[in-house]
């Protein structure tokens, strides 16, 4: 070959195109099989996909909000102990992300969301087998790194210019709740109406799930973040400090769970929901910082803020001492 370099540019361009396209196309999940939102999701793509994978009747697949990572991990293990031969497979992510995946044809038996909006997306796509049940509730807290580089001592400090605040993106339940809390604080005595706007000016990053917010704070990159109280049990006590948000300005996040249509494991899925709502399941959730759900009753949709059942809250979870 006399001139290998002459076609280098062409090859490079072609390869470069492929590399560049592949790098971002990995975020495009299944455009070909995208579900048309106007009609209910056909079960056919799911069944066809199932034909390619070996039958897994003993595996319960649960899509769960990122904030449920440890709690569902423990609940899943406990459930497996009760039902021998059954495996619980958990997939965690931002609720909005999981809802999008389900819409695009991902297969699961159960969907546990951190808010009713993501659940509504799945419901509108015709994917729910029954009405959701609220199995847990949650509240928000402000966290800072242990070293508190931003010197955030009070809630009002969040508005101080130069503070690096990290929140979940608006589409993420935790992000929406956080902005709602800022809204309420803006109308509280002692805070000026401009509070929310000034705080959001300090926003340096919008994460795609609440655990990414926790991560940035733990790493000391962010000065402050707003996350769920239950996330505290996932972070080692020495790494973060907690600023409490007074109940009357806080939101109560209601977590709905529902069985998904097309799952051949409907009875097993229903059993898992019953387990979560039972005394043992609720105890697991409470240990991880969650508030009680609606034990044994179907969900009241839309009840995400304001008056919540005044359930007895346990004392501060480990590492939650606010200084």
Please give the residue ranges that form the binding site for other proteins (CB under 8 A).
Answer: 2-13, 15-29, 31-32, 34, 37, 94, 96-97, 99-100, 103, 145, 149, 164, 166, 169, 171, 203-208, 216, 219-221
Longest pairwise C-alpha distance within the chain: 82
Min dist. Cβ of residue 77 to other proteins (A): 27
Nearest CB to other proteins, comparing residues 99 and 257: 99
Sign of CA pseudo-dihedral 29, 35, 37, 41: negative
Min dist. Cβ of residue 45 to other proteins (A): 15
Nearest CB to other proteins, comparing residues 2 and 53: 2
Min dist. Cβ of residue 182 to other proteins (A): 17
Min dist. Cβ of residue 19 to other proteins (A): 5
Nearest CB to other proteins, comparing residues 103 and 137: 103
Asked if residues 110 and 257 have their Cβ atoms less than 8 Å apart, the reply is: yes
Asked if residues 168 and 118 have their Cβ atoms less than 8 Å apart, the reply is: no
Min dist. Cβ of residue 193 to other proteins (A): 24
Nearest CB to other proteins, comparing residues 137 and 216: 216
What is the distance between the alpha carbons of residues 246 and 223, in angstroms, rounded to a whole number? 21
Min dist. Cβ of residue 215 to other proteins (A): 9
Nearest CB to other proteins, comparing residues 200 and 316: 200
What is the distance between the alpha carbons of residues 288 and 230, in angstroms, rounded to a whole number? 6
* β-pair partners for 144: 241
Nearest CB to other proteins, comparing residues 203 and 321: 203
Burial 134-155 (b: 16+ CB within 10 A, else e): bbbbbbbbbbbbbebebebeeb
Which residue stretches of the chain are H helix? 8-25, 43-52, 69-82, 95-103, 116-124, 173-186, 195-201, 210-218, 266-277, 279-287
Min dist. Cβ of residue 316 to other proteins (A): 26
Asked if residues 249 and 305 have their Cβ atoms less than 8 Å apart, the reply is: no
Nearest CB to other proteins, comparing residues 88 and 168: 168
């Amino acid at each position: 070959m006399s001139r290998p370099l002459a076609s280098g540019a062409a090859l490079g361009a072609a390869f470069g195109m492929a590399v560049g396209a592949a790098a971002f196309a990995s975020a495009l999940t299944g455009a070909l099989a995208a579900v048309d939102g106007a009609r209910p999701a056909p079960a056919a793509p799911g069944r066809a996909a199932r034909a390619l994978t070996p039958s897994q009747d003993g595996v319960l697949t649960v899509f769960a909000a990122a904030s449920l990572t440890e709690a569902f991990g423990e609940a899943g293990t406990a459930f497996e102990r009760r039902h021998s031969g059954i495996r619980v497979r958990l997939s965690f992510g931002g609720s909005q992300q999981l809802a999008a995946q389900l819409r695009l044809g991902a297969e699961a038996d159960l969907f546990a969301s951190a808010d009713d909006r993501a659940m509504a997306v799945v419901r509108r796509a015709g994917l729910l087998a029954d009405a959701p049940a609220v199995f847990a509730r949650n509240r928000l807290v402000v966290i800072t790194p242990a070293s508190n580089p931003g010197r955030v001592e009070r809630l009002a400090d969040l508005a101080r210019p130069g503070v690096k605040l990290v929140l979940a993106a608006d589409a993420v339940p935790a992000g929406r709740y956080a902005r709602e809390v800022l809204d309420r604080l803006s109308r509280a005595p002692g805070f000026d109406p401009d509070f929310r706007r000034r705080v959001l000016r300090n926003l340096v990053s919008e994460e795609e799930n609440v655990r990414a917010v926790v991560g940035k704070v733990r790493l000391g990159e962010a000065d402050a973040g707003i996350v769920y109280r239950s996330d505290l049990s996932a972070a080692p006590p020495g790494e973060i400090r907690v600023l409490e948000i007074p109940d009357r300005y806080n939101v109560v996040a209601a977590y709905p769970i529902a069985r998904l249509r097309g799952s051949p494991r409907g009875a097993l899925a229903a059993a898992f929901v019953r387990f979560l709502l039972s005394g043992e399941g609720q105890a697991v959730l409470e240990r991880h910082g969650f508030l009680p759900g609606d034990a044994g009753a179907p969900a009241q949709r839309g009840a995400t803020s304001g008056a919540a059942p005044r359930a007895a809250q346990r004392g501060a979870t480990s590492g939650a001492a606010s200084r």
